[in-house]
Structure 1
Amino acid sequence: MKTYLFLSASLAGVMSLCGAAQAQSSASALQDVIVVTGSPRESMTVDATAPDFTPDAGPDAAGIVARLPGAALIDNGALSGQVQYRGLFGERLNIRVDGQSFASGGPNMMDPPLHYAPAPLVGVIVVDRGVSPVRNGPGLAGGVDAQFKRVGFTEGSDLKLGYDVTALARSVDESYAVGGVAGASNEALRFNILGSYEDGGDVEFPGGTIASSSHRRAVYGASAGAKFGDHEVGVDVRRQKTGPTGNPPFPMDIRFFETDFARATWNGALGGVKFESAFSIADVDHAMNNFDLRPAPPDPARFRETFAEARTLSGKVAIIVPATGGDLRLGVDIEDADKDVTITNPNNPNFFINSLADIEIQRKGVFAEWTGAAGWLNAELGVRADFHDASAGEATVGPALPMGPVNLADAFNAADREWDKTTVDGVIRLWSEEANGVSWRLTLAHKTRAPGYVERFSWLPTQASGGLADGNVYIGDLQLTNETAWIAEAGTDLRGDNFYLRPTVFYRRIDDYVQGVPFDATVDVIDTPQEMIAAMNGDSTPLRFANVDAELYGVDVDGGVALTDHLRLDGVVSYVRGKRRDIDDNLYRISPPHASLAATYERAKWSVSAETVLVADQNKVSVTNSEQATDGYALFNITGDIELATGVSLSAGVTNIFDKDYRHHLAGYNRVANSDVAIGERLPGNGRGAFVRVHLSR
């Protein structure tokens, strides 16, 4: 598999991936497009796209997105990484897989959306720069859509066979991956099967091995579509089985995720009015425990296995009509999620806690978005309203539980466990036509986010935190209100015959930001049932999710220059600052300033790239979250590729060439005993690793 970043603001229209396996995406000044597989030498020119050949990003697709300006990787495990974008991550980003939004299966987001996007199956990743348009749903920051490979429609009535397959091996975790699509199509019909399998061991670093960091994942499914007149329909189904996979920053590891996806689309035109529709379901079954991959607790009473379920039904219908020199999109969407979490001890059938019982979350949205131009100025103006409902069923506990959790469950059951609210978002995105190689961008937005079910309904003090992985015990708050962000960002895109440069400055003022705060005013004094239970779980100073005030601001830049016909430099610089506005503290888990610079020598059939990654110290850390500071570091990588024949390419490289021992600030803290990383120590980055991959397409 090849990984290329297409970052030029001039990129527009449709991108065709190699052979019959195609993925399409529109791009503009408001999007970044990452072409994950394919041969750009066949379909693009360097002048138009400024590709940046990148080293292997590991098994997690979030690592690919993290190379973009403003982005970073939240490393919660081999298959549990999250994208941070300009300081925000988790549910604050609008992340989709193949156009589908869905709820994570576990209370700690061990399966964030990109968990379901194995790199061998992904063709294109589209990233909304800055903020996501209202047509894509709510969310405080940019959006990400990882679109799968497909055998696309071809010309003529004869069926043509196509495939796109990748095989890869890595040394740092002794892993391998193989996957792709194969099928047939003509001008009216398309069909393909898809599948992938990945398996890897524990990760090596200069000081030894990170215990409980192995992974295993398998996906299989199919995609089909048909065109008739002005209409196109499509159906996609797939099943993913994630096997035993380590999560050192969490108190448990993945035992399994078994997830089914189905999505149907119908787009077309009737009487001059265009319409688009999509309906989908995602059904997740999940188990995690603290004894399979990591050393089991010495006391049988401390064994834990948690079972979780999540089902998401979603749908969207929109019409597009001409209006005042542009297009007006009017639409409705709905998302309905049911969740349930039960904690057990396999050694004691009387020990069980239905800690998040019968959670029901529903969102119904309406939106209007106009896109058009007035002379040199392009505009995308959108507004949406969302009607939120959330409720929790009655918590239950087994007879083996002491009175503390029983009393907390009774108090929760006696409380008002239903919540509803209406939110309104507005987005103005303006950009100029390119003139003499210069275009301008401006975004103003008002965005909202409803608190998640863990933040609202967690009555039992546990380390379920929605993926924060900071080692703290958390308690929810039924009185949480929505986050509200006021956003402004401005940038320019500069492009010449042999260079491109895209600086952006941004500011986000967020009222009612959901953040952990001390449970009560008497910190270190255990005088409540919640603190007593938290202390039994190893944390005498639990945190309570609460609404605070925050702000994030920064700058990111990417650019490149062609030094000769065959040699170019490409680089990215990202800086974000996250602070509390209500007290003197920093936001938790904010990426330190970082930069990368790659020198690429490219010929018609081969290329080689040498890259330097520079990361600064991060000492602006959250005292509230007991966050540890980290030192800066520099890494060096080298990658090369060669086209062996038409549709056959080979790439290989070495990452962290000098085997640097470093701590990635956005990694969590180790929770696994008998590892070469001490308990409570920041998890190290990967050691030196070689990789090789083969890509076949037709």
Structure 2
Amino acid sequence: MAATNNILAAALAGALCLPSALAAQDHAALAHDAALRATTLDGVVVMGVAPVAANTFVLDPKLPRQPAPASDGADYLKTIPGFSALRSGGTNGDPVLRGMFGSRIALLTNDGALSGACPSRMDNAMSYIAPETYDRLTVVKGPQTVLWGGGASAGTVRFEREIPYFDRPGVRAQGSVLAGSHERNDQVLDASAGTPRGYARLAGNRSEADDYADGGGREVPSAWRKWNADVAVGWTPAADTVLELSAGTGDAQARYAGRGMDGARFRRDSLGLRFEKKRIGGVLDAVAANAYRNEVDHVMDNYSLRDPDPSGGMPMPMASNVGDTSQGGRAAATWQRDRWELTAGIDGRQSEHRRRSAMGRGAYRDAPWTKDARFRTLGVFAESHWHLTDAHHVMSGLRVDRARADARRAPTAGMMPMPNPTAGQRRRDTLSGGFARYEYDMSGRAGGYVGIGRAERMPDYWELFSPSRGPDGAANAFAGVRPERTTQLDAGLQYRAGAVEAWASVYAGRIDGYILFDYMGGPMSGAAMGATTRARNVDADIRGGEAGVDWRPLHGLKLSGVVAYAWGESDDGRALPQMPPLEARLSAGWERGGWSWGALLRVADAQRRVSTGQGNVVGRDLGPSAGFAVFSLNGAYRIGDRLRLSGGIDNLFDRAYSEHLNLGGNSAFGYPAMPERIAEPGRSAWVKLNFEY
């Protein structure tokens, strides 16, 4: 606890003694504002998005989208080209960006870190996210920013809630209700009340669905029930100044066709404190700081949402209860002078993992907690923007992190970890990262950028503690897995003229010490569920890209297309596992008056570049996969200025298909011993009403 207090104190001291923090530079903020204006006025159901700046995407998560509006963060991220998800059922897939997984993607909610606790990531951080309760989703692809933590080689994801400033006393509210196939029903409410001196805000949601049927009519275990509630109270003594205290909680249940257990509890409790002062004037332009505490309590069992399988590996009722407490803070400041902008600051985080398990229904509640791992990180960063001219810009950044991991108990997989020689040991690493990027006229008719970035990442909890074995010659993964170092080149072009807007981004990278899992038997689900796994480092090359085009041939008509591809190969000539296939999305939308209609065709190619038996902590390559095409329709109608009714039919032709990134069905639900991918939903309909006050 003392160490935690030191981290929080350091961050808040930076806010008070050094001038502290704004979340982003001005050029990014302007791009965000422009994107929000565009999406807020667009009545079409969201079927895809384009970047608003170099490698940066901004979305309004409250807008209706197709496929059916997302129940978790990973599902919503699939709207952005380059994202996919490792599927295990109806909800809580694990996000994958350009074939990269896990802590290679930094996740922040209101600028605080959130982490799951399950050793096989059943409750990955995105499973605690209700997208519609946030105002903005910002994604930066690649190691092209240092403002939001180290090690984010694949990209940075931020779910944000804006400050509801009031220029006069008033009340604002918005929300939605949704109904759909398979008993899907959601409710969302976001309400705030305030005066020029302060405000109070409540954001909450509830989401529920039964098991879905695939395109062949087979029922897939996939039901879920979720709820979240977050409150915030803010003091706004002046324009662009706020001090806010927030708190939140939530819980859920979820059935998983691809796992030997289900999620019986996803309890989240959050506290946050933030201070911001923007547009100060003079050289010092903005200061900001925040502190947070996020705690998760997750229960996995084989009896709450299913019956134990007497012929399987877990014939008796059993449960595992795991938890994680993450707390930390951040402070930074933004300075401006002539053509220079500089944001610099300090951030820190500590997370502590605990676990307990027992045989028998509910017996885990009487078992004592064991704290098995603790992580600490303290970092400093600086990022600059040099306006060479109105059209030419240079961005650069540098950060250094000091990371530490303590092994408090055996880093082995399974329900009952065994003693290990490294228990009680610790490891420390000093990690650096940075980037430099040149941009030409990204807000003009034709623009482009090219940047080089580097990120060093300490192995995370799942890479140090979940594998059964470490590299050859090492006692285990904790003792033997090295940090991962990525150097990546990113480049892109964009064009806007008349009725056409087009963009393209490409990347090529070298990963020294890529952390790879070898599966050596056991069930097809994750490492913590009994499969024998080894974590080791390999060197690898990655490359790929995304491209999109929008064409408006007639007033009110828009035709769009986007394509994404990711490729990876280790130095031994094997394909990197868990790479999504080539994917394209073609859409058409038409608006007239208050009406809008849309159609979406999603096409995924067959994936034959696989490394069967290799993967990550969640799953492994199951072999080659077939391609597929899915067609969907949607429509929307604005009822005055405050109501919008939308609806859609996903998978209109009831195609039977499955995603390449897939855990494979679990035998407890009748799936065969040989891997069979979990099929996606068949024809599904939904209708949604959005309202504002």
TM tier, smaller: 0.7 to 0.9
The answer as to whether partners of 1:355 and 1:460 remain within 8 angstroms in 2 is no
1:586 to 575, 586, 590: 575
1:568 to 558, 569, 573: 558
**What is the aligned partner in structure 2 of residue 236 from structure 1?**
246
How many Å separate the matches in 2 of 1:426 and 1:508? 14
Instruction: Map 1:537-576 onto structure 2 (within 5 A).
Output: 542-576=532-566
How many Å separate the matches in 2 of 1:557 and 1:285? 40
Per-residue CA distance 1:117-155 (angstroms, 9 max, x = gap): 21332332111133351011111111111224x672132
1:258 to 267, 272, 289: 267
**What is the aligned partner in structure 2 of residue 620 from structure 1?**
609
The answer as to whether partners of 1:673 and 1:679 remain within 8 angstroms in 2 is no
Alignment partner of 1:13 is 2:33: yes
**What is the aligned partner in structure 2 of residue 164 from structure 1?**
174
Query: Helix, strand or coil: the match of 1:91?
Result: helix
- CA 1:696–1:536 in structure 2 vs 1: closer, same or farther (change >3 Å)? closer
Query: Helix, strand or coil: the match of 1:114?
Result: helix
1:215 to 218, 224, 227: 224
Per-residue CA distance 1:313-367 (angstroms, 9 max, x = gap): 0100112223562111221100100001233212697999999843110000011
How many Å separate the matches in 2 of 1:594 and 1:292? 37
Query: Helix, strand or coil: the match of 1:13?
Result: helix
Alignment partner of 1:121 is 2:110: no
Per-residue CA distance 1:432-487 (angstroms, 9 max, x = gap): 1248610111121011111012321347579xxxxxxxxxxx97342211100010
**What is the aligned partner in structure 2 of residue 392 from structure 1?**
407
The answer as to whether partners of 1:291 and 1:297 remain within 8 angstroms in 2 is no
The answer as to whether partners of 2:328 and 2:348 remain within 8 angstroms in 1 is yes
Unaligned runs of 5+ in 2: 1-27, 42-50, 615-620
**What is the aligned partner in structure 1 of residue 385 from structure 2?**
371
Instruction: Map 1:496-575 onto structure 2 (within 5 A).
Output: 496-517=497-518, 542-575=532-565
| Aligned residue type for 1:455 | E
Instruction: Map 1:168-207 onto structure 2 (within 5 A).
Output: 168-171=178-181, 173-207=182-216
| Aligned residue type for 2:400 | A
Alignment partner of 1:453 is 2:467: no
Paired-residue identity, %:
22
Per-residue CA distance 1:184-222 (angstroms, 9 max, x = gap): 123332212121111111011123344431001111121
Shift of 1:395: 4.5
Quote the RMSD (CA, aligned, Å).
Answer: 3.3
How many Å separate the matches in 2 of 1:659 and 1:201? 18
**What is the aligned partner in structure 1 of residue 480 from structure 2?**
479
Instruction: Please report the TM-score for the alignment, with normalisation by the length of structure 1.
Output: 0.84
**What is the aligned partner in structure 2 of residue 465 from structure 1?**
none
**What is the aligned partner in structure 1 of residue 355 from structure 2?**
341
Per-residue CA distance 1:100-122 (angstroms, 9 max, x = gap): 21221222222223222213323
Alignment partner of 1:421 is 2:429: yes
| Aligned residue type for 1:318 | A
- CA 1:143–1:132 in structure 2 vs 1: closer, same or farther (change >3 Å)? farther
Higher RCO structure (Cα 8 Å, ≥6 apart): 2
Per-residue CA distance 1:218-241 (angstroms, 9 max, x = gap): 111212222223632122211011
Per-residue CA distance 1:570-619 (angstroms, 9 max, x = gap): 111001112112x2322221110010110111123110001111110001
**What is the aligned partner in structure 2 of residue 145 from structure 1?**
158
The answer as to whether partners of 1:73 and 1:81 remain within 8 angstroms in 2 is yes
Shift of 1:254: 0.2
Query: Helix, strand or coil: the match of 2:537?
Result: strand
- CA 1:440–1:409 in structure 2 vs 1: closer, same or farther (change >3 Å)? same
Query: Helix, strand or coil: the match of 2:137?
Result: strand
**What is the aligned partner in structure 2 of residue 683 from structure 1?**
678
Alignment partner of 1:380 is 2:395: yes
- CA 1:147–1:478 in structure 2 vs 1: closer, same or farther (change >3 Å)? same
The answer as to whether partners of 2:411 and 2:465 remain within 8 angstroms in 1 is no
Alignment partner of 1:359 is 2:348: no
Query: Helix, strand or coil: the match of 2:147?
Result: helix
How many Å separate the matches in 1 of 2:329 and 2:595? 44
Alignment partner of 1:37 is 2:62: yes
- CA 1:439–1:307 in structure 2 vs 1: closer, same or farther (change >3 Å)? same
The answer as to whether partners of 1:120 and 1:177 remain within 8 angstroms in 2 is no
How many Å separate the matches in 1 of 2:527 and 2:88? 24
Shift of 1:38: 5.2
- CA 1:664–1:9 in structure 2 vs 1: closer, same or farther (change >3 Å)? farther
How many Å separate the matches in 1 of 2:443 and 2:310? 69
- CA 1:304–1:412 in structure 2 vs 1: closer, same or farther (change >3 Å)? farther
The answer as to whether partners of 1:211 and 1:248 remain within 8 angstroms in 2 is yes
**What is the aligned partner in structure 1 of residue 166 from structure 2?**
154
**What is the aligned partner in structure 2 of residue 439 from structure 1?**
447
- CA 1:424–1:608 in structure 2 vs 1: closer, same or farther (change >3 Å)? same
The answer as to whether partners of 1:210 and 1:677 remain within 8 angstroms in 2 is no
| Aligned residue type for 2:287 | F
How many Å separate the matches in 2 of 1:599 and 1:350? 53
Report how many residues are paired: 633
Unaligned runs of 5+ in 1: 1-7, 20-25, 40-52, 463-473, 525-529
2:596 to 582, 598, 607: 607
| Aligned residue type for 1:511 | D
How many Å separate the matches in 2 of 1:288 and 1:38? 33
Shift of 1:673: 2.4
1:647 to 642, 664, 676: 642
